[in-house]
Structure 1
Amino acid sequence: MSSSEHPLTGWTARNRGFAFICAITVLALALRLVGLGTRFAHWDEARVGYWILRYQETGVWNYYPPIHGPFFPQVNSILFELFGASDFVARLPVALVTGLVPLAAWLYRDHLSDSEMVAFAFFLAVNPVVLYYSRFMRYDVLLAAFMVFALGFYLRAQATGKARYLYAGTAALALGFTTKENAILYVLAWLGALVLLFDHRLLLSRNHDREWTETFVDTTKETGRGLLRFAPYIFVALVEFFVIIVYFYAPRANGTSGPGLWKAFGQPSMFGAVVAEATVGTWDKFTGQWVTSQGHAYLPFLRHFITVLEQGAIVVVLLSVVGFLAARYVDDRPRDLVSFAFYWGVVSILGYPLVTDIQAGWVTVHAIVPLMIPAAVGAGIIYRWGREAYEDDDRVGTTATIVISLVLVVLILFPATTVVYMHPQDPDTPSVFGGQRHNDIVQWGQPAAGIKSTMEKVQQVSKANEGGTDVLYYGYVDDQSNYVFYVPDESSNDGPPPAASGWYNRLPLPWYTEMANASVGSTLDNESLKTRQPPVVITRTSREGDVAKYLDGYRAYRHDLTLWGAPTTIYIKKSALRKANQAE
């Protein structure tokens, strides 16, 4: 280093790729944290958040596959205790982990160039679908982030032989398994991709005048030596995985019968039952959620999947094809990681429409993230073309590269800006080519815009109300003889699944009433409103005629509880609202 060179400047020059990745990570964190609590909760966020609050109150928790793994109940319950429950705090773990995931690109430095790692980090930071669901209390992006870290650490372990990368990768893998059942599909996709890579080796051997059997034996020996190198550490890694799984999945049984993690410390003989429930019991439920087909038509789900890719990941998809083809046919030999990730992504596109139970944009994350690796290679090719054109003073080539790059950036940033920040709960969004288009990135369980301010009023009057019911749902029986809104026993909602299906119709409102510690009840009898006039009455808008005549002195607020409908009217007593405002 010259005497005039600043130490920081010198370090940046020597580690330019890592410096760019760090800058992108700061950007990723900012994009996720700014306005994190402004969007009203989605149905999935609300039901999980509600049951976390009930878990805090009761101390009772058991794994229930339809709401997926224990990561949120165990982590968010601590955050709610420390900082209070809110939309911001509920989404904070996802925002932080996915905001830091661009750093994982540095773990791939043995397989990607600096420009490719920077492109990979950039895609992880700003892809519209990944960014939208990074600001969402849901597991899909969180799982993808943990798996990107896990694979990166394992690749570093392979390259360096250092056990610390094995342990870090195992911790990330175990945390991935605490999020969502399709963690097992990641492992299966990886194994399938490895089989295809092995087939590559066998095919390449023919081009070098070698028998495939010789290549088979050599590759097997090479793999065996690699595993043998880590033999002293694999057992420790397995114990690490086991401990993390047991801690998260072990039931909590405060004051109830049956095994419970904390109860076992007072009754050591119970530890066997706790471990069995956290492992074997969880595995039975775990595989039952994802191993079997969901029994729906395949093509509509595939069509929706591809539509979301077109709206939120078209750049990643196109560049991944360029990167895969270049790495396979242009380079001296196929690049294993690029082929591995491309196969992983393509299988995910074809497979997830089969195993998922609802059409949802978040599922595409599991294909988008692996395709980012070959896409980064495609972006690296464009970068090298532009740099070579600039160095050769080729103005046409330089200009063409700049134009292509700008078009690609616009195709990423425009939907990211509109869907994530301007229209995060709207059924339609502006198109980059002008006009409006149906917004398939946002899932239908997201309430339409405008309801947040009304629920803030509900929370205000609930907190100010002294005694009695704070929020009363007026329910009814629908055409299929199901209750809507009505729940005979509110305590049956303390844990999943609720005993009364009518509770689901209330979503996402229970999350907000529970945060306010509101006393909630329901009725099927509109005549009871003559005597029961709580601060808040909620019913379907179609039932306004049944209740409006009993609610003189209330103000009606009408909202859709889903993206496309479920019109609901929230009545707030004017005097209660004035009292709440005065109390503040």
Structure 2
Amino acid sequence: MASTDGTASRQRAGRGRRVVFAVVTIALLGLLARLAFLGDRTAHWDEARVAYWTLHYLDTGLFEYQPIIHGPFLQQVNRAVFAVLGPNDFTMRLVVALLGAGLPLVALCFRERLSGVEIVALAGFLAFDPLVLYYSRFMRSDLPLAAFALLALGCFVRALDTRKPRSLHAGVLAFALAVTTKEYVLVYVVTWLGALVLLADHRLFGRGLPTDWRGRFRGHIRSARPALRRWLPHLLASFVAFLVVVIYFYAPRTGPNGGPGFDDLFADPTVLPAVVGEATIGSWQTFVSLWVGGGHQDHAYLPFLGSAAETLFVGSGALAVLSVVGFLVDRYADDGPRDLVAFCFYWGFVSVLGYPIIADIAAPWTVLHAVVPLAVPAAVGVGALYRRGYTALASENRPAVAAVAIAVLLVVGQIGFVATTDVYLDDQSDANPLVQYAQPASDLHPALHEMESVSAANSGTDVLLYGDFLVANTTGTREPGCSEWFNVLPLPWYFEAEDVRVACARNGSAFESAMNRSHPPVVVSLSSDADSLEPRLAGYEAYPEVIRTQDTSRTNITVFVEEPAANASDTP
């Protein structure tokens, strides 16, 4: 008997090692998929503004929480990345790509709740689902939030399964990092609480309302008290760690301006209460003033829901269908629904319906918050297909084998086709449902490279912005201060990253004056103004660009770059 038990134990250990090896391999392949051509896509409007403020933070030492660009995580972390690796489109997306690459490893946290096939399938979805993959290559806070939240859930599940406090501490730290990413973390809390209520209903009243339900409920409370007393010190320690993380990320940095700021704590510890207050209560008040009752959710629900549904089924159609299959198979299995599978399905399903209510714009990245949890029941769906196929193969049921093979091919084909076309080959087109409209539709890099090369050899003004759409009436606080900053995005990020000197001309007379005074080697205007400028820019090459996928009549620009020969002839 001992020998038989030892053999079975070794077999389980061997299967466990194979599962870990498969998941790690998937994660490494996912890392390659995220790093490949990571800097090739022109910065999206949102990427550019957050990257600009991060670079501003690096240059000045000044930082404060701005809810309009969401949580401070990416600004704080990318400040260090820019300091070490320099600012460019690759480095600004690197942290998000690494977090996305690590996401499949979270599947191992559920190894007591899922089968080996389901764990590997979950890792595969988290690595290669097109929507997850696209926004793992995008510098926004949505992927970090989803990754930290799933990791927190995984660690909490491990704490329940192993009774090891370190898993609880890791989960709280992961959730604290989720809090630093984006305000949507509050929605996660609400959906988690709702899912827990449904799970409690399954446990207590799954077979109807018993006559002694009050006694049963009190019994569960009494049985939980010893565990609560045992875990209370760890809960308190985790809460302190949670506060430390939140305060570190949200606390203002005042640089040379003086405190109170986090950077003043070592020189003057007495500012600690003010720093803590600003990082917690102050940040909350700032968030509420903008996002709660600020009119950002004043929109029709059904168009937003329709947009989300299109993104879900075009970008993650295989995952969405399999999540329903997996949930139903698990729900009506002989041993009843598993808590993890039901919890993640409720979380994801409510997210599909709920984010169109709270979102300020119809954006594909909101669907990511549903896709990540739905990957768990989708993995269960893959497991059901695997078992069906294995049974059919063993019994030589050829029609059933063929049906399973076709289903698998459809799943792999959908994921592979959408990932190839929408993530890599056509990642800036309005026809791509994964692309949000503030993405430049054309590749600006050739024009930007020309701009950088001529400005590097130029001693005066490098770029002249022309026209009332690009040029402001008054000087603003963002560089270039003379620009209509939001209309010019994503160019300010590239100007700042390359130390490009920018001047402005709002009308024709100002243009002539600027050209006579400094003869800038680069001129940027709306394409509608290009015909009138071109005769006055002899020796300049025109680069027509589209800096949005929509409203192109107002966002088509032309970048005029002086040709080297003409530039050299004008140099004394």
Give the TM-score, by structure 1 length: 0.90
1:573 pairs, out of 562, 565, 572, with: 562
**What letter is aligned with 1:54?**
H
1:11 is displaced (CA, Å) by 6.9
1:546 is displaced (CA, Å) by 4.5
2:91 pairs, out of 73, 89, 92, with: 89
Whole-Å separation in 2 of the counterparts to 1:535 and 1:11: 66
Match of 1:436 in 2: none
Alignment of 1:185-334 (within 5 A): 185-206=187-208, 211-256=212-257, 258-292=259-293, 294-334=297-337
Match of 1:443 in 2: 436
Percent identity among equivalent residues?
44
**What letter is aligned with 1:452?**
H
Equivalent residues of 2:483, 2:504 under 8 A apart: no
Match of 2:450 in 1: 457
Whole-Å separation in 1 of the counterparts to 2:198 and 2:206: 12
Query: Secondary structure, in 3 states, of the residue corresponding to 1:484?
Result: coil
Whole-Å separation in 2 of the counterparts to 1:487 and 1:243: 44
**What letter is aligned with 1:570?**
V
Equivalent residues of 2:352, 2:367 under 8 A apart: yes
Post-superposition Cα deviations, 1:182-203, rounded to whole Å, max 9, x if no partner, equal 0111111101110111122232
Post-superposition Cα deviations, 1:51-110, rounded to whole Å, max 9, x if no partner, equal 111111111111000101111111111111111111111100011111011010010112
**What letter is aligned with 1:111?**
R
Whole-Å separation in 1 of the counterparts to 2:557 and 2:180: 35
Match of 2:370 in 1: 367
- The number of residues matched between the two structures is 553
Match of 2:40 in 1: 38
Bigger mean CA deviation after superposition, 49-58 or 223-232: 223-232
Query: Secondary structure, in 3 states, of the residue corresponding to 1:365?
Result: helix
1:412 is displaced (CA, Å) by 1.2
1:422 is displaced (CA, Å) by 0.6
Equivalent residues of 2:542, 2:560 under 8 A apart: yes
Post-superposition Cα deviations, 1:267-321, rounded to whole Å, max 9, x if no partner, equal 2221211111001111222345555561111111011000101111111111111
**What letter is aligned with 1:299?**
L
Whole-Å separation in 2 of the counterparts to 1:91 and 1:183: 21
Bigger mean CA deviation after superposition, 249-258 or 9-18: 9-18
2:65 pairs, out of 54, 63, 78, with: 63
Distance 1:389 1:222, change over 3 A: farther
Equivalent residues of 1:319, 1:379 under 8 A apart: yes
**What letter is aligned with 2:505?**
T
Bigger mean CA deviation after superposition, 388-397 or 54-63: 388-397
Whole-Å separation in 2 of the counterparts to 1:117 and 1:210: 40
Equivalent residues of 1:37, 1:86 under 8 A apart: yes
Whole-Å separation in 2 of the counterparts to 1:373 and 1:577: 61
Match of 1:522 in 2: 504
Whole-Å separation in 1 of the counterparts to 2:212 and 2:390: 42
Query: Secondary structure, in 3 states, of the residue corresponding to 2:266?
Result: helix
Bigger mean CA deviation after superposition, 224-233 or 406-415: 224-233
Post-superposition Cα deviations, 1:452-480, rounded to whole Å, max 9, x if no partner, equal 111111111122211x211111131xxxx
Match of 2:54 in 1: 52
Equivalent residues of 1:161, 1:230 under 8 A apart: no
Bigger mean CA deviation after superposition, 284-293 or 129-138: 284-293
1:328 is displaced (CA, Å) by 1.4
Match of 1:511 in 2: 493
Post-superposition Cα deviations, 1:506-527, rounded to whole Å, max 9, x if no partner, equal 1011111111101112121322
Whole-Å separation in 1 of the counterparts to 2:415 and 2:256: 51
Distance 1:94 1:231, change over 3 A: same
1:367 is displaced (CA, Å) by 0.6
**What letter is aligned with 2:478?**
N
- Structure 2: give runs of 5+ residues left out of the alignment: 4-9
Post-superposition Cα deviations, 1:170-227, rounded to whole Å, max 9, x if no partner, equal 11111111111101111111011101111222322538x6632233223333444443
Match of 2:343 in 1: 340
Equivalent residues of 1:425, 1:446 under 8 A apart: yes
1:578 is displaced (CA, Å) by 6.2
Match of 2:133 in 1: 131
Mapped pair 1:548 → 2:550: no
2:547 pairs, out of 531, 549, 561, with: 561
**What letter is aligned with 1:24?**
I
Query: Secondary structure, in 3 states, of the residue corresponding to 2:435?
Result: coil
- Structure 1: give runs of 5+ residues left out of the alignment: 2-7, 429-438, 477-482
Match of 1:431 in 2: none
**What letter is aligned with 1:168?**
A
Whole-Å separation in 2 of the counterparts to 1:421 and 1:9: 41
Match of 2:6 in 1: none
Query: Secondary structure, in 3 states, of the residue corresponding to 1:555?
Result: strand
**What letter is aligned with 2:487?**
N
Whole-Å separation in 2 of the counterparts to 1:509 and 1:268: 41
Whole-Å separation in 2 of the counterparts to 1:317 and 1:84: 39
Post-superposition Cα deviations, 1:377-426, rounded to whole Å, max 9, x if no partner, equal 11110011111122223222222211111111111111011000110111
**What letter is aligned with 2:241?**
E
Distance 1:344 1:417, change over 3 A: same
Distance 1:427 1:258, change over 3 A: same
Bigger mean CA deviation after superposition, 30-39 or 569-578: 569-578
1:46 is displaced (CA, Å) by 0.7
Distance 1:346 1:14, change over 3 A: closer
Query: Secondary structure, in 3 states, of the residue corresponding to 2:545?
Result: strand
